[in-house]
């Protein structure tokens, strides 16, 4: 009676050992790839990964969309367990991660894949991953603020000439004060925080001075004062209203959202659509506040050399075959893609149509930029509508950023 039972136990144990070994072997043949792409862009990335895996690489890629990714990255890095082999991070995160020693340089990847080099990518996207001469990332895209145009309304109000120089100014917008039909507006407040940060560049300023945050400054004060004129004139969509949908319903001349919104706008029947640069407080300069999705490897002693070789092959595939990403409304970073005739079919190709346009794509890489963006996003809508005092609020924003920096430096986290 005992022998069959013992034999059964031995058999079960053997099977578990084999299954465990198979499981381990499978994981070694899979590149775990985390992204924060929780929107529709996640589906486009799924397709890119599927296209790569269809080439039958020795090590396939598993795309894992990870909500609240930066929090989860912090957790796995602290425990040393379940660290992804590859991830997509935003450009403004690179300096902090590098300072903390959390990113592995792409040196080996680039040596194995010689076409993964600076001259094959948009310069802003490539440079965001370069810290002190070391390349820590390979870019996927630039995603930018964009200003969509209702061409019919532009003609209705006789202001098509505003687009002659591709620089619509605040002063030009003010020309329509008191001239618009009730319920129609010049511009909405979509991504208004991004719009404001563009004005800082248009005015020749910056968000930091000598490495210290500079929000409570004359250039921020001038930017808010200038843009507030649009709201004061009744030309901006009302506070609390969904300006994005108001644009799609045909009641707003300009919508200041993102390149990725082109697919949603283009799907609206009867919307005669165009695109141009974000409006400017200056007649001499326009800026489109941008960011970049970057491929990065977090430090992980357990990552095998074979996986790094597989990562390099995947990144080279993406460099050559990322037209799928253009369908998501992104400005693809690979020059091979954006210089192809097919890419011109996508609305965001406007932003790389010449050197001036490409240079307008400004990516903030200041180490503490995420805190400044948070402060700007929190207070801008109320500031522009005059709901809160400008001087007091800029002081509050400055303290908010400084407190965040102190809090995170004391905890040793980003």
Which one, of 358, 359, 382, 401, lies nearest residue 207 by Cα? Answer: 401
| Contact in structure between 338 and 249 (CB atoms under 8 Å) | no
H or E element: which one contains 361? strand 361-363
Examine domains 30-140+292-354 and 144-290+368-411 and report if their fold is the same.
yes
In this prediction, residues 292-314 reach a mean pLDDT of 96
d(CA 115, CA 319) in angstroms, rounded, equals 9
What is the pLDDT confidence band of residue 408, given thresholds at 50, 70 and 90? confident
Q: What residues contact residue 160 under an 8 Å CB cut-off, 6+ apart?
A: 154
Domain covering 144-290+368-411: architecture: 3-Layer(aba) Sandwich (3.40)
Domain ranges of the chain: 30-140+292-354, 144-290+368-411
Among 332, 276, 310, residue whose Cα is nearest residue 41: 332
Alpha-helical runs (H) found in 186-304: 192-202, 218-232, 243-248, 262-266
Residue 16 has pLDDT above 50, yes or no: no
pLDDT tens column, 162-220: 999 999 999 999 999 999 999 999 999 999 999 999 999 999 999 999 999 999 999 99
**Strand (E) or helix (H) holding 39:** none
Class of domain 30-140+292-354: alpha beta
Predicted confidence at residue 27, as pLDDT, reads 63
Query: Where are the alpha helices (H) located in 322-368, listed in sequence order?
Result: 323-326, 335-338, 355-359
* Mean predicted confidence (pLDDT) in 384-397: 98
Residue found under tokens 């979509």:
190
| Coil/strand/helix, residue 209 | strand
| Cα–Cα separations (whole angstroms), residue 343 to 121, 126, 134, 323 | 15, 20, 31, 7
- Counting every residue, how long is the chain? 414
Q: Which two tokens stand for residue 306?
A: 């074979």
């Amino acid at each position: 009676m005992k022998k069959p039972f013992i034999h059964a136990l031995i058999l079960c144990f053997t099977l578990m050992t084999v299954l465990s070994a198979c499981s381990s072997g499978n994981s070694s043949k899979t590149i775990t790839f985390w992204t924060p792409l929780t929107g529709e862009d996640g589906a486009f990335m799924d397709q890119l990964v599927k296209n790569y895996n269809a080439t039958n690489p020795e090590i396939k890629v598993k795309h894992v969309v990870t909500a609240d990714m930066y929090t989860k990255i912090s957790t796995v890095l602290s425990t040393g367990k379940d660290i992804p082999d590859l991830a997509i991070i935003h450009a403004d995160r690179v300096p902090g991660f590098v300072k903390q020693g959390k990113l592995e340089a792409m040196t080996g990847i680039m040596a194995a894949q010689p076409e993964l080099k600076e001259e094959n990518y948009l310069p802003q996207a490539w440079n965001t991953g370069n810290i002190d001469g070391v390349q820590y990332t390979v870019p996927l895209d630039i995603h930018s603020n964009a200003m969509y145009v209702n061409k019919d309304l532009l003609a209705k109000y006789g202001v098509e000439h505003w687009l002659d120089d591709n620089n619509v100014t605040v002063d030009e917008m003010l020309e329509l004060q008191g001239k618009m039909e009730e319920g129609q507006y010049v511009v909405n407040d979509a991504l208004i925080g991004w719009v404001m940060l563009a004005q800082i560049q248009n005015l020749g300023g910056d968000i930091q001075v000598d490495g210290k945050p500079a929000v409570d400054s004359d250039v921020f004060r001038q930017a808010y004062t200038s843009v507030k004129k649009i709201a004061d004139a009744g030309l901006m969509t009302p506070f609390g209203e969904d300006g994005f949908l108001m644009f799609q319903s045909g009641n707003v001349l300009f919508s200041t959202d993102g390149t990725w919104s082109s697919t949603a706008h283009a799907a609206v029947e009867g919307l005669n659509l165009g695109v141009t640069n974000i409006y400017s407080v200056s007649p001499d300069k326009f800026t489109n506040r941008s960011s970049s999705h970057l491929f990065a490897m977090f430090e992980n002693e357990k990552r095998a050399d074979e996986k790094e070789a597989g990562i390099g092959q995947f990144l080279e595939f993406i460099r050559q075959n990322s037209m799928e990403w253009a369908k998501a409304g992104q400005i693809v970073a690979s020059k091979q893609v954006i210089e192809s005739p097919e890419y011109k079919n996508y609305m965001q190709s406007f932003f790389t149509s010449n050197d001036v346009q490409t240079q307008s794509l400004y990516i903030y890489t200041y180490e503490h930029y995420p805190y400044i963006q948070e402060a700007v996003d929190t207070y801008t809508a109320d500031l522009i509508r005059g709901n809160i005092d400008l001087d007091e609020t800029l002081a509050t924003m400055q303290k908010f950023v400084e407190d965040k920096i102190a809090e995170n430096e004391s905890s040793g986290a980003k």
